[in-house]
Chains A and B, each alone.
Chain A
Amino acid sequence: MRRRDFFAVAGSGLFVFFKADLDAFQEPARFPGRQAGPTDFNAYLRIGADGRVTCLVGKVELGQGSMTALAQLLAEELDVPFDSVDMVMGDTDLCPYDMGTFGSMCIRMLGPVVRAAGAEARAVLIQMAAEQFKAPPERLQEKAGVITDPLAPDKRVTYAQLVEGKRIERHIPNVPVKPVAAFTVIGKSPRRKDALEKVTGKAEYAGDIALPGMLHARILRPPAHGATLKSVDTTAAEKLPGVRVVREGDLIAVLHERPDMAEQALGLFKAQFDRPHTGLDDKTIFDHLLQTAPKPQVVGNGGDVVGGEQLSKTIVDETYLNSYVAHASMETHTAVASIENGKATVWASTQAPFSVKSAVAQALGIEPENVHIVTPYVGGGFGGKSGAPQAVEAARLAKAAGKPVQVVWDRAEEFFFDTFRPAAVVKIRSGITAAGKIAFWDAKVYAAGEREAAPFYDIPNHHTESAGGWQGGNPAGMHPFAIGPWRAPSANTNTFARESHIDILAAKAGVDPLQFRLNHLTDPRMRRALETVAKQFAWKPAAKTPSGRGVGVACNIYSNVYVATMAELAVSKTTGKVQVKRVVTALDAGVIVNPDGLRQQMEGCITMGLGYCLTEEVRFKDGEVLDRNFDTYQLPRFSWLPKIETIIIDNPGLAAQGCGEPPITTMGAVIANAIYDAAGARVLQLPMTPARILEAIKKG
């Protein structure tokens, strides 16, 4: 349902309010300082007089498929056809508060809330029918939104008939949700709700919003982080017809009714900046991080590391690096703001509309209830749209101009203001006994963050420290620009380091890398994930390592999702170029709401992951971001495409988990380990560019 249609029908229909202990669905520990979830009553669904059901959620559709999966959950519990459910997402006036669409939390955290809402609504409707029929509710039957009394064939009422013209608020506590065996919609793969709009170009994104009188803004930007504006001459720009130059605090912008004309005018600005000389660049950053990282926190500890070292026959001490990585969503940060009668409406490409609401209210100096954020389809996020500074810019400029304003960052702005995945250093020192068992593991993580830093293997003596986080809280100047969550924060870096190191130990022990992992795992879910992927891959233990076959394995646990990946590739020993031939991933994520949706996430993670494995790193110098577009910042392309095989491990005893992130976490290590197996070259730095691979080959 389009939002305007929804406004037309708002005011009628059944509103089901239910009290949910939303604290139970939050993870405050993962987001210190964030607003806690609401504990008041919330409306998540509405049944229209026409029989259509509207599901209202604060999550947004970024491509991950939540629009479809959440509709399935509601259809299942309310017991209505999937096609009768319309989704309204990320609208702060219509939808209940939501922290944001990140952390693979749509299904894991919001899913139980939506299911509970559907189950309770169904119970309320049956209760209403029972009163109308003057029959006990237990006797009534309900199917696809029609309630009947088996003992009175003339008694028949639909959900729509029950609610028509009425607004009813009821509450029935503790209505159970369906058991797995009763699912008819969950576990199926219906057509995505967004499919038709997306293949016809009708899907609306923030940049597609056009309001009467709207002006397009281009904003003067510094050439480098830390640069300060000395002077700007806007005379030439202001001579162009239709141009308005607006100065609003630190924002200096050109406004024009055509976006490209605004761009042309901005090009006529003569601006001078003082630029910093920090000496910091993408090569010196790693030493800088070691020097500036805050005091480490212990994130995992057991046994006695010193004692373990004494038991070791062979000790391996390695340092793993990864560079800053960009989100590079195909849609850049975009927003449209309109202010009328002291009320602001902002259409924003964002993962967190409710945070944007607060930010816009604060910037405009108005109360949050006077700010309405609408989130159309979002053209990719991956963590990069967790904030929405462009929405604040649009709102400030709309206020200054007295007209609606659209802000669309260009690709250079997108790279410049991105909250990169942090560059990081991981040092691991560990040893194996004469029997080939890991005797100790001593890891120090700098800047990547703590997630998945501590090993999940059975290691008697281990100690893991983490210094510096993946978002906020770092000492000023540690990073030369903003950093933030990037699809599975911390975990890509930590898994690359841990799983590379495990492979090195396996080689030292002379044990096949799969067998070496199994030798150190009692967790049945991880053993099953590895055994499942090995069977599909037809993994054969090598007589010696490296085998020259170019095969690798890596595994990880992320937010209670188990993932095991194997890959096969070829490395050119003359050019250092890698061609990945095959990637097989097995995932254990509990109940699967939408198998095809999960496979899309797995395929997407594998394909996207190849970028940070092989090419993606942000080059910079003295605060200037040198990668400004896709000519130098290389994303995965069609020619890179390996054969991808995805395996969903059956585990219906576990509630549905989040799957948008886990499958990408193993990519760095599985490719690194396969490169080692192919070329005997251990690459310790992401991305594994041809130059780094050739260097590693030379080292042998």
Chain B
Amino acid sequence: MQRTISFTLNGKPARVTTDDERMLLWVLRSDLGLTGTKFGCGEGLCGACTVVVDQQAVRSCSVPLKDIAGKRVVTIEGLANGDNLHPIQEAFLKHHAFQCGYCTSGMLLNAYALLLKTPRPTRAEILQHMEDNLCRCGAHVRIVEAIQEAAGAPKGGAL
């Protein structure tokens, strides 16, 4: 159904008038021009499109726009506070926790959601939480190290 959906996007109000059954991923990428969130599989199987909605990691390729009305959405574009990277970004930077970088936004947002819920996760909790985010380059070992480092770092960033 064509209607106007209002939500909070990276701390700022956003309004989109479109078919509300459309998936959030395409609205973010195509209508709003926020291309940091990636398409990987289209069926919620890879995690490249992960964003955080009301503090929960979701697969934006499988969340219709109508489900985010009135909610707070954080994408990779909203993780840093201006030039100040979020600690999880700093940790990914330091550990080179990526190669091609295509899964990285989803990895960061999923890790961010984990740290919101569990500020000091165990290694097992990290593996379990990150399990369904796929990385073909095999940066996993560094991603785990980066999350462990960020978990020990003081909180910062915008959101």
Closest chain-B Cβ to A432's Cβ sits at a distance in Å of 37
A199 to B46, CA, bound (A): 18
Contact assessment for A258 and B45 in the assembled complex, using a CB-CB cutoff below 8 Å: no
Contact assessment for A63 and B100 in the assembled complex, using a CB-CB cutoff below 8 Å: yes
A200 to B89, CA, bound (A): 7
Q: Cβ of A210: which chain B residues have Cβ within 8 Å of it?
A: 30, 33, 35
Residue B121 at the A interface, CB < 8 A?
no
Given A192-B96, A201-B75, A607-B138, residue A207 in contact with residue B35 (CB < 8 A): yes
Contact assessment for B31 and A200 in the assembled complex, using a CB-CB cutoff below 8 Å: no
**Most chain-B CB neighbours within 10 Å: which of A192, A410, A604?**
A604
Inter-chain CB contacts under 8 Å: number: 168
A158 to B87, CA, bound (A): 38
Interface residues of B in 16-30 (CB under 8 A from A): 19, 22-23, 26, 29-30
Q: Cβ of A411: which chain B residues have Cβ within 8 Å of it?
A: 40-43
Contact assessment for A605 and B102 in the assembled complex, using a CB-CB cutoff below 8 Å: no
Interface residues of A in 194-220 (CB under 8 A from B): 194-205, 207-208, 210, 216
Interface residues of B in 35-64 (CB under 8 A from A): 35-43, 45-46, 48
A109 to B114, CA, bound (A): 43
Residue A13 at the B interface, CB < 8 A?
no
Given A195-B93, A195-B96, A603-B142, residue A329 in contact with residue B35 (CB < 8 A): no
**Most chain-B CB neighbours within 10 Å: which of A605, A638, A644?**
A638
Q: Cβ of B23: which chain A residues have Cβ within 8 Å of it?
A: 260
Among A376-384, A418-426, A454-462, A676-684, the stretch that binds chain B is A376-384
Specify which of B29, B35, B100, B140 is in contact with A641 (CB 8 Å cutoff): B140
Given A201-B76, A636-B138, residue A600 in contact with residue B96 (CB < 8 A): yes
Specify which of A65, A260, A630 is in contact with B26 (CB 8 Å cutoff): A260
Q: Cβ of B29: which chain A residues have Cβ within 8 Å of it?
A: 259
A620 to B156, CA, bound (A): 50
- Encode contact with A along B93-135: 1 for CB under 8 Å, 0 otherwise: 1001011111111001000000000000000001110111111
Contact assessment for A631 and B96 in the assembled complex, using a CB-CB cutoff below 8 Å: no
**Most chain-B CB neighbours within 10 Å: which of A65, A197, A201, A329?**
A201
Q: Cβ of A382: which chain B residues have Cβ within 8 Å of it?
A: 136
Specify which of A200, A208, A258, A604 is in contact with B139 (CB 8 Å cutoff): A604
**Most chain-B CB neighbours within 10 Å: which of A200, A210, A600?**
A200
Contact assessment for A608 and B136 in the assembled complex, using a CB-CB cutoff below 8 Å: yes
Q: Cβ of B135: which chain A residues have Cβ within 8 Å of it?
A: 330
Q: Cβ of B133: which chain A residues have Cβ within 8 Å of it?
A: 638
Contact assessment for A201 and B136 in the assembled complex, using a CB-CB cutoff below 8 Å: no
Residue B77 at the A interface, CB < 8 A?
yes
Residue A639 at the B interface, CB < 8 A?
yes
Given A260-B23, A329-B100, A600-B96, residue A641 in contact with residue B144 (CB < 8 A): yes
If over half of B's interface residues share one DSSP class (helix, strand or loop), that class is named, otherwise mixed; here it is: loop
Contact assessment for B136 and A329 in the assembled complex, using a CB-CB cutoff below 8 Å: yes
Interface residues of A in 54-98 (CB under 8 A from B): 62-65
A332 to B132, CA, bound (A): 18
Specify which of A63, A192, A201 is in contact with B137 (CB 8 Å cutoff): A63
Contact assessment for A205 and B102 in the assembled complex, using a CB-CB cutoff below 8 Å: yes
Residue B85 at the A interface, CB < 8 A?
yes
Contact assessment for B101 and A258 in the assembled complex, using a CB-CB cutoff below 8 Å: no
Contact assessment for A377 and B101 in the assembled complex, using a CB-CB cutoff below 8 Å: yes
Residue A637 at the B interface, CB < 8 A?
yes
Given A258-B26, A638-B127, residue A194 in contact with residue B101 (CB < 8 A): yes
Contact assessment for A639 and B39 in the assembled complex, using a CB-CB cutoff below 8 Å: no
Q: Cβ of A622: which chain B residues have Cβ within 8 Å of it?
A: none
Q: Determine the residue in chain B with the shortest Cβ distance to A646.
A: B141
A63 to B103, CA, bound (A): 11
Q: Cβ of B100: which chain A residues have Cβ within 8 Å of it?
A: 62-63, 329-331, 377-380
Residue A191 at the B interface, CB < 8 A?
yes
Residue A629 at the B interface, CB < 8 A?
yes
Closest chain-A Cβ to B75's Cβ sits at a distance in Å of 7
Q: Determine the residue in chain A with the shortest Cβ distance to B77.
A: A201
**Most chain-B CB neighbours within 10 Å: which of A63, A208, A261, A639?**
A63
Given A607-B141, A630-B45, residue A379 in contact with residue B102 (CB < 8 A): yes
- Encode contact with B along A181-192: 1 for CB under 8 Å, 0 otherwise: 000000000011
Closest chain-A Cβ to B158's Cβ sits at a distance in Å of 12
Closest chain-A Cβ to B111's Cβ sits at a distance in Å of 11
Q: Cβ of B105: which chain A residues have Cβ within 8 Å of it?
A: 201
A201 to B19, CA, bound (A): 26
Specify which of A191, A604, A630 is in contact with B99 (CB 8 Å cutoff): A604
Residue A514 at the B interface, CB < 8 A?
no
Contact assessment for B134 and A635 in the assembled complex, using a CB-CB cutoff below 8 Å: yes
22 contacts between A and B (CB under 8 A): A63-B102, A194-B101, A198-B104, A200-B36, A200-B76, A205-B38, A258-B26, A260-B30, A261-B19, A330-B103, A330-B136, A379-B101, A604-B138, A607-B139, A608-B136, A631-B43, A631-B45, A636-B140, A637-B132, A638-B126, A638-B140, A638-B144
Known: A63-B101, A330-B134, A331-B102. 11 other contacts (CB 8 A): A63-B100, A200-B85, A201-B79, A332-B40, A377-B100, A380-B137, A600-B99, A607-B139, A608-B138, A635-B136, A638-B130
Give the 8 A-B CB pairs with smallest separation, nearest first.
A201-B36, A63-B100, A379-B102, A607-B138, A201-B76, A63-B99, A198-B101, A604-B138
